[in-house]
Structure 1
Amino acid sequence: MSVSLHLLLDRARSLLHARDGRLTRSLLREPGRFGLGQVPARVSPDATSSLVCGYCSTGCSLDVHLRGGLAVNLSPSASYPVNRGMACPKGWEALAVLDAPDRATIPLLRGSDGRRCPVDWPTAVGEMARRVKAIQRAHGPESVAFLGTGQITTEELALLGSVAKFGMGMVHGDGNTRQCMATAAVAYKQCFGFDAPPYSYRDLEESDCLVFVGSNPCIAHPILWERVMRNRRDPDLIVIDPRRTETAAQSNLHVPIRPKADLDLLYGLAHLFIQEGSIDRTFIDAHTAGFDAFAAFVERFTPPYVAGRTGLDIRKILDLADRIRRRDRVSFWWTMGVNQSHQGVRTAQAIIALALMTGNIGRPGTGANSITGQCNAMGSRLFSNTSSLLGGRDFSNRDHRAEVARILDIPEDRIPAHAGRTYDQILDGIRNGSIRGLWVVATNPAHSWIDRGGLADVLGRLDLLVVQDIYHSTETAGLADILLPAAAWGEKEGTFINSERRIGLLRKVRRAPGQALADFQIFRLVAEAYGCGPMFAGWRTPSDVFQLLKRLSAGRPCDITGIADERMVGEAGGIQWPCPTGLDDPGAERRLFADGCFYHDDGHARFVFGEPTAMPEEPDESYPLLLITGRGCASQWHTLTRTGKSSILRKLAPREPHAELHPDDATDRGIAPGDWVEIASRRGSTRARALLTQGVGRGRVFLPMHDAGTNLLTFPAFDPHSRQPAYKAAAVRIRPAAPPRPNGRLRRLFSTSR
């Protein structure tokens, strides 16, 4: 990486966001120019193994090049229907982060002296089983819980949820997908009758109007943004977002809405469409229920009323409505700006309502389309046994429990009659002492959880904390009583399910370091140590579990009985569900609801709505600014656990934490560009460099979600329907400050050796 490019990247964050968008596209098209993922000059075609990327939900395929049996480099798969020969910076560096010196390579057990010492696997899992049983004997079976992830394979998710809930009696279990996709899952289930994202990525290219609500795909999902750039229909690109994001800077219309006022705006659009007759009454009458009640509800959301609620000019609202109304193929897309909200479910359902009432669903280039977060969040939603029973069933439905028990050949009474506590409720249980043991798999709540300031203390109250991860250095792993070293992406086998419901293949292309094992094998070891191993005698390999998942999906909306095995998945370039037995072309790209038939018993979609509510924490005299958060750049991922290990990705990321604020707000506080500032809320404070930009409206501060200090500030509000945290709004103040003294983690991530 040249010094000149280094300076260019630093300047890019300080100038118009459109420049970031152009830079991202250059990285996608010319990675070699930036030193990313150079492919060896001589690699024979038969020395390549294709596998789906393990970062975001896009589900790109990467060709890993092998030499002498070793994975030496990779390149994007040219023919894969998702990415078509492209990869974002994270994908190009997917192998580099696996050789970090802080990989967990041997089980660690904390002794009575407080020190952790290496032990063998039988000792580690034996001690885990002994202590879990002791806690359950003393405090009841519900006193131990687990937290899973969307980062492991579908087969591993199913095994973890089944071992924990059916085998070990852990009623309470959730995943870090609660932080990103719970809202979309609930919204879809209530409206469509099943958690079913309806689209294909091809819709990004076939739409003539794309509406992005709280979504910044240029940075968060670069390959999907590249698909948008391939659209030849001269589409209107509309972005509804409080911040002028990289995506907004390249749109035809940016709607700079007041934070968390999306619901009012969407109801206002519905009101206008109804008043002007811009609805598809034939579709509404034939395929939906509840429209008349919805129409009556939105009557008061007139343009003047909505303008007052959203801070938008009436002309902007009318322009937005007109652009949507005059186009034939309108697609609505949302991500965390909607999901991470105190009223995210109702906001997502308002988006769904707009698609339904205008007939923009089931046709090419249409849909109410939630873009998922993690690489296997969709697999977690369907098969993790957390918020839903295997195959998207309901724990509370006796027929569903009986069906799963029959398929798995287990006693029905081993299946809990309710889903158990959600992520936030599990942590509340630790606080009040009702949960005394916790098993954390492939996630880092001590960094990522909302209002995380006291979380280390909360986790410290546990009688037992078991952490299973690929690195020993995460904030959560450092607190563990037992650390179980796991294999990473590329070191194990299984499948992922991406945003467009495409099942993709993960292959093993290298050995895990030291004694680290695939999560699948760790779960089997724990089951044997606990004494429930015989219950999972038929779950010997990921391939065995894939066949079980097929049986669990039979007759369900997510039916995959038409997929013979994983080899078929690889040969087809991934396969979207549903793929029932007898489907003519399993590998074809397809969307849902082309027949207008939804998953409720009557086949109709539902209009679901509710009153907008105020933000739980509004700015005031003491904390006069509103904090908003989001993706920092295309090379960063979540808590930097992996991407922070790559020198290339560190060079592409901002050198230091940064806070974006409006120049007028900076002037009022005596803050100059590049100054160190302190951002404080009622819960904590952090420091960052000031980045002055008119892309952030007056009265607001933007912090990237990846920085360790951001979640010291966030307000612990939750959507009442999905229990998803509302990361996007908190009252803060900002003032000049001295530079922070970096801790060890910051020194590693922001060292001068970059």
Structure 2
Amino acid sequence: MNALIPERTKKNSLLREWNGPLTQDLVLNPGGFGLGKVPGRLQPTNTVDSVCGFCATGCSLRVHLKDGEGVNLSANPSYPVNIGMACPKGWEALRVLDAPDRATTPLLKDASGKLQAVSWETAASTFAAKFKEIQQKHGPDSLAWLGTGQITNEEFAFLGALGKFGMGIRHGDGNTRQCMATAVAAYKQSFGFDAPPYSYQDFEDSDVLVFVGANPCIAHPIMWQRVMRNPHNPEIIVVDPRRTETANSATQHYAIAPKSDLSLFYGIARELIERGQVKRDFVEQHTEGFEEFETFVQDYTLEKVSEESGLSIAEIERFVESIAAGKRVSIWWTMGVNQSYEGVRLAQSLINICLMTGNIGRPGTGANSITGQCNAMGSRLFSNTSSLLGGHDFLQDEHREKVAGILKIDVSKIPNENCWAYDQIVQGVEDGRIKGLWIIATNSAHSWIGQGRFREAVEKLEFLVVQDMYHSTETAQLADLVLPAAGWGEKEGTFINSERRIGRTRKVHKAPGQALSDFNIFRILANYWGCSDLFKDWRSPESVFKILTRITEGRPCDISGIDGYDLLVEKRGIQWPYRSEKMDGETHRSLFSDGVFYRKNGRAKFVFDHPKPLPEPVCSDYPYVLLTGRGTSAQWHTQTRTSKSDVLRKLYPKDAYVEVNVDDAKALGVSSGDCVVVSSRRGTVKAKAFVTPTVQAGQLFMSMHYAETNYLTKPDFDPYSRQPSYKHCAVRLSLPDSAAVQ
């Protein structure tokens, strides 16, 4: 293809090719799966199965078709993830595609500052001209991109390769930095690779399940249903400052003081050692660093931990006894651990307990991070951000040479250094070092921590490009150029769920107007940039998937045994690694059953450090701790999609709210439904009060789904993962007055 495509007829022909006939590869078969491929002709079909595009549970939805287009959904009863179940978001996944605020044509800001509809030719040529001008004027560090956990593996790979190898954009990161970076860093340091070790079958096989900073009852409802299917009458232990929906259903709930969890788990480790609960043979044969860890935790006595956590000694002892009595103990965590200024060490305190007690590599065990977004796992492996494609290392020459050889590019095009993380990119924008920013499928102007600073920073950019399904997002409204993207259900590709299962997502709906899949937007931009020759073999998502399988060969995430999409459908998803049917053919597989880890010596490592002081403790001016998290199972992140469903909107509050303890509300004269003001050192917002005993006195809770919340949060970051600490900051609560609010 030519780098520029000026002729209208050629351009229209390409757009037809890239938007494509709907579901052209679906044919009816007795199993209900679309296995065949008859290009260019719509086939009669009743249903096709597609992995959901909301959370990382990775449910399979059966899409019911009429005239080839998806008109309804049901849960796939034969898929090993959800076994016929779906949450409210999944049921409504098709409805959000027809929203009136879909981006249907490229939009370019005119001289008056208004976004106006333009052609793809104008949009792509402007993108290339503006970014090249910035790059030539300000140097290689002047451009960056911020991606997502919501696009397919094939699109991640295309974005990362196009940005770094094609356009020479050195810095790129994704919003998965906000949710999973801590788990990534913890696993890499402890195990040698980013490797969540579990299978969802472990929810049903454990006799003790510990949930730390996790509320799967609403955040991952289908996972919680798997817990409810557990036949072993398990102990379900929840560690969370709030009495969440999950805590209400638990057999034990420990409402610790916020951010006292690292001390707590060091204390639990000490007590397990004192009680002789260390599996010495396993520790000696498969780990390193335990002797130092054993000495380290001696400082964390029951008395010290009780004082710091707010739990009684009796409560801590009961917690320890439950772990000691369990034969198959699994520990699960999500954002309450990850989104912390010391989250990596906290995650490793959980890993350490599993290692020392031998609760890893067996059914029903494991130190298990639950992933957030539908393809955050794919982002971790294929986005070319925190690691080189396929879990390789930018810093290792042999890795760069391997990837360059498979991609048929000069190795000099692959950077030999790591790029900036999300917070460093934002800081670069704020400092004026980054002048051009490309944001793909994420709503940073809502979700990034310390929102006021972010919005002020992007005003300094010379050119902001936003690529999204909707033109109405807070971020798109700040853009100089909006590129209209297809969403879930409007494109082909693969996702990787929390348990490392790769599943196929299908095109069952035509994208509106001129909106294109992110994959085809990248193809267009490669043409206009003049680097399309690098991607001549990247003809379709499946062709890229086959390239990725070759890139992973020999890595812990090896999927070289998957020869294409058909096998994914036939196997109902495949967990990595999958080198061959003979080696990796089981439906449910956990890692480390052989006790061999991914570090060079094959041993897992005990990693630990003393807790650090709170970055922002409460004081007389800001006497409340603000906690944040998921609101309801009907909401997703910044509500970009879920707010488009009439059904889902009825299942959650329309406006921002703040949960207030009963005693605190009484002291302030506040009742449920009252308008209140929440202030931090970074902003002041209004919200409706919800008075409830589920939050402790001196604590408040606000849902992450409302833009108001992140005007309050404080930008602190874990030093190892660069993940933001959303879960704790100091705030004030008052009744409305003349204070300025957002």
Short-chain TM bin? over 0.9
Distance across 2 between alignment mates of 1:585 and 1:400: 24
Q: Which moved more, 1:306-315 or 1:153-162?
A: 306-315
Opposite residue 220 of structure 1, the aligned amino acid is A
Q: Which SS does the other structure have where 1:194 is aligned?
A: coil
Tell me what 1:99 maps to.
98
Q: Which moved more, 1:155-164 or 1:653-662?
A: 653-662
Structure 1 residues 675 and 592, CA, compared in 2 at 3 Å: closer, same or farther?
same
Q: Which SS does the other structure have where 2:707 is aligned?
A: coil
Tell me what 2:466 maps to.
467
Distance across 1 between alignment mates of 2:77 and 2:669: 52
Structure 2: unaligned runs, 5 residues or longer: 1-42
Tell me what 1:236 maps to.
235
Distance apart, 1:45 and its partner CA:
10
Distance across 1 between alignment mates of 2:682 and 2:131: 33
Q: Which moved more, 1:620-629 or 1:560-569?
A: 560-569
Distance across 2 between alignment mates of 1:518 and 1:368: 36
Structure 1 residues 530 and 235, CA, compared in 2 at 3 Å: closer, same or farther?
same
Could you report, residue by residue, the CA deviation over 1:293-339 in whole angstroms, capped at 9, with x for unpaired residues?
Answer: 11111111010011111111111101100011111000000000000
Dislocated runs of 4+, deviation >4 Å: 738-743
Opposite residue 529 of structure 2, the aligned amino acid is Y
How do 1:483-502 residues align onto structure 2 when only pairs under 5 Å count? 483-502=482-501
Distance apart, 1:584 and its partner CA:
5.1
Distance across 1 between alignment mates of 2:654 and 2:442: 25
Residues 44 and 68, structure 2, Cα contact 8 Å, conserved in 1 = no
Distance apart, 1:740 and its partner CA:
12
Q: Which SS does the other structure have where 1:697 is aligned?
A: coil
Tell me what 2:188 maps to.
189
Distance across 2 between alignment mates of 1:118 and 1:716: 36
Opposite residue 47 of structure 1, the aligned amino acid is N
Opposite residue 534 of structure 1, the aligned amino acid is D
Distance apart, 1:155 and its partner CA:
0.4
Tell me what 1:319 maps to.
318
Q: Which SS does the other structure have where 2:596 is aligned?
A: coil
Distance apart, 1:739 and its partner CA:
13
Distance across 2 between alignment mates of 1:271 and 1:588: 37
Tell me what 1:522 maps to.
521
Residues 54 and 90, structure 2, Cα contact 8 Å, conserved in 1 = yes
Could you report, residue by residue, the CA deviation over 1:547-589 in whole angstroms, capped at 9, with x for unpaired residues?
Answer: 1101110010001011121111011110000000353563521
How do 1:267-666 residues align onto structure 2 when only pairs under 5 Å count? 267-583=266-582, 586=585, 588-666=587-665
Q: Which SS does the other structure have where 1:709 is aligned?
A: helix
Distance apart, 1:702 and its partner CA:
0.4
Tell me what 1:24 maps to.
none
Tell me what 1:201 maps to.
200
Structure 1 residues 326 and 666, CA, compared in 2 at 3 Å: closer, same or farther?
same
Distance across 1 between alignment mates of 2:575 and 2:741: 46
Structure 1 residues 200 and 642, CA, compared in 2 at 3 Å: closer, same or farther?
same
Could you report, residue by residue, the CA deviation over 1:467-506 in whole angstroms, capped at 9, with x for unpaired residues?
Answer: 0000000000011111100001000000000000000101
Residues 218 and 247, structure 1, Cα contact 8 Å, conserved in 2 = yes
Opposite residue 111 of structure 1, the aligned amino acid is D
Could you report, residue by residue, the CA deviation over 1:44-69 in whole angstroms, capped at 9, with x for unpaired residues?
Answer: 99410110000000000001101122
Distance across 2 between alignment mates of 1:121 and 1:674: 47
Q: Which SS does the other structure have where 1:652 is aligned?
A: coil
Distance across 2 between alignment mates of 1:611 and 1:454: 31
Q: Which SS does the other structure have where 1:62 is aligned?
A: strand
Distance across 1 between alignment mates of 2:413 and 2:642: 40
Q: Which SS does the other structure have where 2:473 is aligned?
A: coil
Distance across 2 between alignment mates of 1:325 and 1:331: 12
Percent same amino acid at aligned positions? 57
Distance across 2 between alignment mates of 1:197 and 1:209: 19
Distance across 2 between alignment mates of 1:99 and 1:290: 55
Q: Which SS does the other structure have where 1:129 is aligned?
A: helix
TM-score normalised by structure 1 residue count:
0.91
Q: Which SS does the other structure have where 1:641 is aligned?
A: coil
Distance apart, 1:657 and its partner CA:
2.2
Could you report, residue by residue, the CA deviation over 1:257-296 in whole angstroms, capped at 9, with x for unpaired residues?
Answer: 1111110001001100111111100100010011101111
TM-score normalised by structure 2 residue count:
0.93
Q: Which moved more, 1:143-152 or 1:447-456?
A: 447-456
Opposite residue 433 of structure 1, the aligned amino acid is G
Opposite residue 268 of structure 2, the aligned amino acid is L
Distance across 2 between alignment mates of 1:337 and 1:644: 25
Q: Which moved more, 1:316-325 or 1:688-697?
A: 688-697
Aligned residues: 700
Q: Which SS does the other structure have where 1:347 is aligned?
A: helix
Distance apart, 1:738 and its partner CA:
7.4
Distance across 2 between alignment mates of 1:596 and 1:45: 50
Distance across 1 between alignment mates of 2:246 and 2:580: 40
Q: Which SS does the other structure have where 1:165 is aligned?
A: helix
Residues 684 and 740, structure 2, Cα contact 8 Å, conserved in 1 = no
Distance across 1 between alignment mates of 2:109 and 2:686: 34
Structure 1: unaligned runs, 5 residues or longer: 1-43, 744-754
Could you report, residue by residue, the CA deviation over 1:230-258 in whole angstroms, capped at 9, with x for unpaired residues?
Answer: 00101000000000000001111000011
Distance across 1 between alignment mates of 2:44 and 2:310: 57
Structure 1 residues 585 and 179, CA, compared in 2 at 3 Å: closer, same or farther?
closer
Tell me what 1:258 maps to.
257
Instruction: Quote the RMSD (CA, aligned, Å).
Output: 1.5
Opposite residue 547 of structure 2, the aligned amino acid is L
Distance across 2 between alignment mates of 1:225 and 1:714: 29
Tell me what 1:23 maps to.
none
Q: Which SS does the other structure have where 1:421 is aligned?
A: coil
Distance across 2 between alignment mates of 1:324 and 1:574: 33
Distance across 1 between alignment mates of 2:253 and 2:210: 10
Tell me what 1:673 maps to.
672
Distance apart, 1:666 and its partner CA:
1.1
